[in-house]
Structure 1
Amino acid sequence: MWQDAGLRQAGTGHMSLTLLFLQLTVILVTARTCGLVLRAFGQPMVIGEMAAGILLGPVVFGALFPQWHQQLFPPASLPGLSSLATVGVVLFMFIVGAELRAPSGMGAQFRAAGWVGVSSMVLPMVLGLAIAPVLHPALAPQGVEFWPFALFLGVALSITAFPVLARILRDRNMTRTRVGQLSLGAAGVVDALAWILLALVVALASAGAGLQAFMRIAIGLVVLVTVVFLAVKPMLAWLLRTHAPDGVPSPMMLAALLIGMFVCAMLTEWLHLHAVFGAFLFGVALPRDDRLLHALAERIEPLSIVVLMPIFFALAGLGTSAGAFANSGLGMLALILLAASVGKIVGGAAGARMCGYGWRESLATGSLMNSRGLMELIVIKVGLDAGLIGAELFTMLLVMALVTTAATGPLLSLIARKSPKPIDRPTSA
């Protein structure tokens, strides 16, 4: 009897592994294909990979071939995929935290970057709060109060994708330009502020209506940040200076860094926040050394971005709802797109104008700040996991992220054609 049970369990495990490898094959092929197609149209590959998640979800694949979709992604198989996706996004956020810095040589632009970053956050947050009374009755999950919902919506609309923005600037040879340096600096400000605000909103939601529970989470987060920056950060600097003076960590040093990252991710998860906060925090605590960043990206990004992040996109697509655009759904999506685009473009342009930039450069800066991409997807997935939003609003915000990011390149080209002066002049000009 025991032998038969063992054989049945082995057979079930074999079938589960076969399904897992089939899922990975389909996900990676779809992600790479969509990425290459979108790149042919001048878009970053990540936009195509995000779109692949929607194609594999119930909105497209599930609607066209419901039986195949159910067989390929049965509910019992999703926890395994979810674990792989979480590891991928934790590794990715670790690299994002390590990348976060003021761009080299920006000097006098630091104040302008602060103004652009804050103004491009405040206006979309205000517009998000303004449209929240319209969206909350129809789209908020049952039991979610207005203010946690509204604050999360405001944060979601205020995101700028630092990695995608950097890739757009690199593809257009604008990294060392006035507009490029200003936008990168402002995106760094937005990233730092947005993750702090998001952590507070998630803590508020996790605590429910209890002030004591919220204070416990908030105090735990403050203690963790204090320990990381006052104790862990100097220790990391000493270890890397001693054991990796050339900026290239040995396998043992790399293992130590990954252990520290996973410990921070575990602690933020234990605090009822998301693991991405801990990974991002540990990445920010690393020394600002380009050699170290290059070495980490060279070792971690192939696994994270090429293999694990497409799984995250696919799971995000599985979390979408085919009924998101029924009835008044399209009108609500249009309202979200309007608030997100106007808030970012006008807010970013206003910040640049206040610091003396011309109208064309200011509009180009606002257009760049409107790119959300992968960071937006991570933020709204955190909100979905925390129960702050449901599948319908998640679907709308995902579409908003794709549309606003895809519009960045065409907007820049339009502004460049209309401009009497080039917007890609170097900072030394």
Structure 2
Amino acid sequence: MNTTEIFLIAMAVIFTVPYLVWRLGGTDYWAPLVVVQIIMGIVLGPGVLGRAFPDYYHFVFNPAVVQSLNGVAWWAVMLFVWIAGIELDLKKAWAHRVESGITAGLALGTPLIAGSGAALALLGGGWMGARAETWQFVLGVGMSCAVTALPILILLMEKLDILRQPLGQRILRYASLDDIAIWGVLALILMDWQRVGRQGLFLVLFALATWGLRRLMLRLPAADRWFVSLIWLALVSFGADWSGLHFMVGAFLAGAVMDAEWFDQAQLDLLRHHVLMVLMPVFFLSTGLRTNWEMGGYAVFGVAGLLLAVSVGGKLLGLEIAGRLLRWAPGEARIIGWLLQTKALIMIIFANVLLDKQIITSETFTALLLMAVGSTMLTVPVVAPMLRPMMGLVKRAG
């Protein structure tokens, strides 16, 4: 078979296996399709399929096919992060800046401190990447424990029927503020002092280009805005990568300086849905291909369990403190905390960048990936029973 035919076999596997597991296994309550796709990406990787059936694995996922899949995955994740940047609603956060600032700060800061403590415990054990400074590794793992996956949070709140309720809108404000902090910290971690001049030049050009883009977009017809936006996404991502930052940082910046009001909301929602359905499964598979179990499954699972514990515990503690300071109703902090600890996708993207820059090892990446899956699978089963007796609070919490 030629490379094209094997590539199409790989694509068929990527879409068929997760769908059958999700549909026939009835996993939707505790593991939506997107979570199953992430898990199947791990299963189809070298640690499971590659170990059980090495000949088939190396036939389907040969270097030429993997290179092609990676190209699709890069564009998929750029689109996804760009949409997440567009959907940030900072106007509402500013209108409630005191309450939002306190909550978002504690929701991010407490698990960041707890995760950084766990990272310190991992120093010297082969978990830190070859090109990492100690502070980069500690801060990177700590921030991985603090991340909230805003796009997946939206999907889960839709499932729980609270997205359009006042409580759901508050949670989106908190997650939006934390999203900005997450990418800001990532940019700090990736700062290359040997190329600081190039990075400074990129930021200056980006600021000037943003001013021009915002003026241009107001003059363009609605249909043209989509095409110009995609050109903008590619150029900013290239500039960020050229300067020493990662192209995913550029993709987020490209979206963050754009206004959701420039686009039809229904079309934007549909684009996010289609990117998740059509392209992101390839990213999940390419992520799974990067997992590594060479330290032994027990060690990787043990570190994943540690990171999950400090991540969830830190998030719940931070929200409990916020609830006491802001005098929330009993039980409200736990609901918000469990929703904000959702990790999948954004944390996986974050960890991919850390792995690309050799700040973490592939074993640490695998542990972080398992932690992200575990945190997301916990969300709906834990939150749904807490919501039932509190729907009155959900509808009146403003």
Structure 2 counterpart of 1:282, one-letter code: A
Q: What residue in structure 1 maps to residue 59 of structure 2?
A: 71
Instruction: Give yes or no for contact 1:93–1:280 (8 Å, CA) kept in 2.
Output: yes
- Indicate the SS of the match to 1:289: helix
- The one of 325, 329, 343 equivalent to 1:354 is 325
Q: What residue in structure 2 maps to residue 416 of structure 1?
A: 387
Q: What residue in structure 2 maps to residue 51 of structure 1?
A: 39
Q: What residue in structure 2 maps to residue 3 of structure 1?
A: none
- The one of 215, 219, 237 equivalent to 1:239 is 219
Matched, 1:97 2:85: yes
Matched, 1:279 2:251: yes
Instruction: Give yes or no for contact 1:53–1:313 (8 Å, CA) kept in 2.
Output: yes
Structure 1 counterpart of 2:391, one-letter code: P
**Identical counterparts, % of pairs:** 26
The number of residues matched between the two structures is 396
Paired with 2:204 and 2:30, the residues of 1 have a C-alpha distance of 45
Cα pair distance change 1:326/1:406, threshold 3 Å = closer
Matched, 1:222 2:191: no
Structure 1 counterpart of 2:163, one-letter code: T
Paired with 2:96 and 2:331, the residues of 1 have a C-alpha distance of 17
Paired with 1:294 and 1:368, the residues of 2 have a C-alpha distance of 24
Structure 1 counterpart of 2:314, one-letter code: G
Matched, 1:366 2:337: yes
Output the TM-score relative to the length of structure 1. 0.85
Matched, 1:113 2:113: no
Cα pair distance change 1:299/1:183, threshold 3 Å = closer
Instruction: Give yes or no for contact 2:30–2:381 (8 Å, CA) kept in 1.
Output: no
Hey, which bits of structure 1, 4+ residues long, moved more than 6 A?
none
Matched, 1:298 2:267: no
Aligned pairs (5 A) from 1:382-393: 382-393=353-364
List alignment gaps of at least 5 residues for structure 1: 1-13
- Indicate the SS of the match to 2:345: helix
More deviation in 375-384 or 58-67? 58-67
Q: What residue in structure 2 maps to residue 61 of structure 1?
A: 49
Structure 2 counterpart of 1:131, one-letter code: A
Q: What residue in structure 2 maps to residue 15 of structure 1?
A: 2
Q: What residue in structure 2 maps to residue 7 of structure 1?
A: none
Paired with 2:205 and 2:27, the residues of 1 have a C-alpha distance of 40
Instruction: Give yes or no for contact 2:108–2:146 (8 Å, CA) kept in 1.
Output: yes
Matched, 1:426 2:398: no
RMSD (Å), alpha carbons: 2.4
More deviation in 69-78 or 357-366? 69-78
List alignment gaps of at least 5 residues for structure 2: none
Q: What residue in structure 2 maps to residue 80 of structure 1?
A: 68
Instruction: Give yes or no for contact 2:110–2:314 (8 Å, CA) kept in 1.
Output: yes
Paired with 1:387 and 1:255, the residues of 2 have a C-alpha distance of 34
Paired with 1:307 and 1:163, the residues of 2 have a C-alpha distance of 16
- The one of 166, 172, 182 equivalent to 1:184 is 172
Tell me by how many angstroms 1:83 deviates. 0.8
Tell me by how many angstroms 1:360 deviates. 0.4
Output the TM-score relative to the length of structure 2. 0.91
Query: Could you give the per-residue CA deviations for residues 246-291 of structure 1, whole angstroms, max 9, x where no partner exists?
Result: xxx2xx4422221111111111111122212222222222223185
Cα pair distance change 1:345/1:273, threshold 3 Å = same
Structure with bigger gyration radius = 1
Tell me by how many angstroms 1:313 deviates. 0.3
